[in-house]
Structure 1
Amino acid sequence: MIVTVVMEAPSPAFQSPSRSSQQLHFYLAVDRPQFKMETVVELLGVLGRRPWLPIVVCCSSRDELDAVCSSLSTLPFISFAALYSDLGERERASVLEKFRQATINWNQHLNSAIVGEEGLEESETREEEDEKKSHLVVVTDVCLPMLSSGESSLSSRVLINYELPTKKETYTRRLTSCLASGGIVINMVVGGEVTTLRSLEESSGIIIAEMPINV
């Protein structure tokens, strides 16, 4: 399956929280499970080219997380990290802090006035280029930010549910711990999971629309 997403100009979903506070929920259907990873990589190949864009990919298991991280290693314009159960406390704090800094940079990028090219340096150092990469965190459900323990929400602009949750509580927790106000949720759906999707939609009181070509 080939994904075509046109993002030439910021859409309402990618405006600052002050401009748009409603989260948008989409689903992206593939015919077979083996096409899901390819589709996610293609999708991130488009989304990830936006400087500083903070993205979270939620997985149900460590095996899924490892597979996603392995596939995303081929995308040079995305800086990504993983949150998993045996990650040390210091490393976890570092991942969370770097991602929060990415969300600050993204919001400043959106809210700042457009600067003429003549006001910029002709070239950027490798370090500056790395800082401008979109930032992505891949996380399993058991390692989501613990809001009740004082950790802050990741506040990403895009949340991709690589594996569709079967329970409303899991879906809701992913939203509250990972997604900013005005962000986008993209649910990967395979075949018969449409029934599960509609069940989540009904129990959560939200509308999950098919993902349009122009986002």
Structure 2
Amino acid sequence: MEGRSAGLRQYYVGVSTVDAKLTTLVELLQALRVDTRLALAVACSSRDAVDAVVHALASCSGFNIAVLHADLEMHEVEQQLLQIKRRLQPPPAVSEGMQPAADEATRLGQQHEQQQQQQQQAAAAGPTPAAAPNQPTAAAAAVQRDTASTTAAAAAVAAGPGLAAAADDGRSLVLVASDACLKGLPRDLLPLGLPLLIQYDLPASKDVLSRRIGAVFGSSKERGRRAGRQVVIYFVAAGEVAAFRARERLSSAPVMEMPVHVPDIFT
């Protein structure tokens, strides 16, 4: 029986101590890179854990690293999210008349930036005068912008990245994020659409678990529409078994032990 919850395939990796998680993470990602080109998120409970993971991955070759933590300004967070979406390659085959996922992600980013600029300009200009005949009101224009943004986001979600790769250099894309930062991400730039989430630290609550999964994979309906495997891996240290079992009970199916051949998680 596969460990599935709302379209997700779930696994756990046992580690001897909390300190051993870093070594295990690097070994796991290197094993996956042998057979696949990766794009994934690593969820951490603290800024210290984020810094440790980033330092460990930066010392290895083959990883493009993006970082999200609570000390970043919102415009820096938005820039990181947009760069992640742009670095995800579209599916190999694109049907005639459909835009590649990367193009949709770029369009979504441009619309998000335009919306931010328009809001700033509107705030600086003060009350909006009455619209001239046959001219759209500010409210109508906002509705049009929101509709266009929703359409672009839906297209990107429907296309899905599959086992997306980092951009042209062929290195794996790894997003390392803290829970504090995930809590305030702009909704119009979510979900990220990454195929793999590593729970480096166990989520502290059901809300934290839901927030991590929602940011990476989207809602259950969005996950159902996306092609390709969507995988969650939990790191469980020896002293965390009870907490892990408590989180496992929040899922509709058990979490499976990691297979010997790691890339099998995507088959």
TM > 0.5 fold call: yes
What is the rounded CA distance, in whole Å, between the counterparts of 2:31 and 2:44 in structure 1? 20
Query: Going by fraction, where is helix more abundant, 1 or 2?
Result: 2
- CA gap of 1:145–1:196, structure 2 versus 1, over 3 A, is closer
Asked if 1:184 is matched to 2:231, the reply is yes
**2:163 aligns to what?**
none
* Residue 70 (structure 1) aligned to one of 38, 42, 55: 55
Matched, 1:169 2:189: no
Matched, 1:56 2:41: yes
* Aligned partner of residue 215 in structure 2, secondary structure: helix
* Residue 32 of structure 2 corresponds to residue 47 of structure 1: yes
Report the number of matched residues: 177
Query: Quick check: 2:70–2:180 contact (8 Å CA) kept in 1?
Result: yes
Deviations 1:67-98 (A, max 9, x none): 00000002221101100112133322221112
Structure 2 residue aligned with 1:206, among 223, 240, 253?
253
Please give the alpha-carbon distance, in whole angstroms, between the structure 2 residues aligned to 1:89 and 1:171. Answer: 23
Alpha-carbon deviations, 1:22-73, whole Å to 9, x = none?
Answer: 211111001122211100011111234533x211000000000000000000
**How far is the alpha carbon of 1:166 from its aligned partner?**
3.1
| CA distance in 1: counterparts of 2:187 and 2:58, whole angstroms | 32
Alignment CA distance shift 1:27-1:40 (3 Å): same
The amino acid of 1:108's aligned partner reads P
Q: Distance in 2 between matches of 1:54 and 1:48?
A: 10
- Indicate which of 182, 196, 210 corresponds to 1:158: 196
| 2:254 partner amino acid | I
Q: Which residue of 2 aligns with 1:108?
A: 91
Query: Residue deviations 1:108-131, cap 9 Å, x none?
Result: 24x57xxxxxxxxxxxxxxx752x
TM-score, normalisation: structure 2? 0.60
Q: Which residue of 1 aligns with 2:100?
A: none
Q: Distance in 2 between matches of 1:91 and 1:162?
A: 23
CA contact (8 A) 1:145 1:154 kept: no
How many Å separate the matches in 1 of 2:43 and 2:176?
6
The CA distance in 2 between the partners of 1:177 and 1:168, in whole Å, is 14
TM-score (norm 1): 0.73
Could you tell me the percent identity over the aligned residues? 31
Specify which of 144, 149, 163 is matched with residue 182 of structure 2.
144
Residue 198 of structure 1, CA deviation: 1.5
Cα distance in structure 2, aligned partners of 1:185 and 1:203: 14
Greater C-alpha radius of gyration? 2
Is there any run of 5+ residues in structure 1 with no aligned partner, and where?
A: 1-20, 113-127
Partners in 1 of 2:188 and 2:59 — Cα distance?
A: 34
Distance 1:47 1:151 in 2: 27
Q: Which 5+ residue runs of structure 2 have no aligned equivalent?
A: 1-5, 95-166, 224-228
Q: Decide which structure has greater strand share.
A: 1
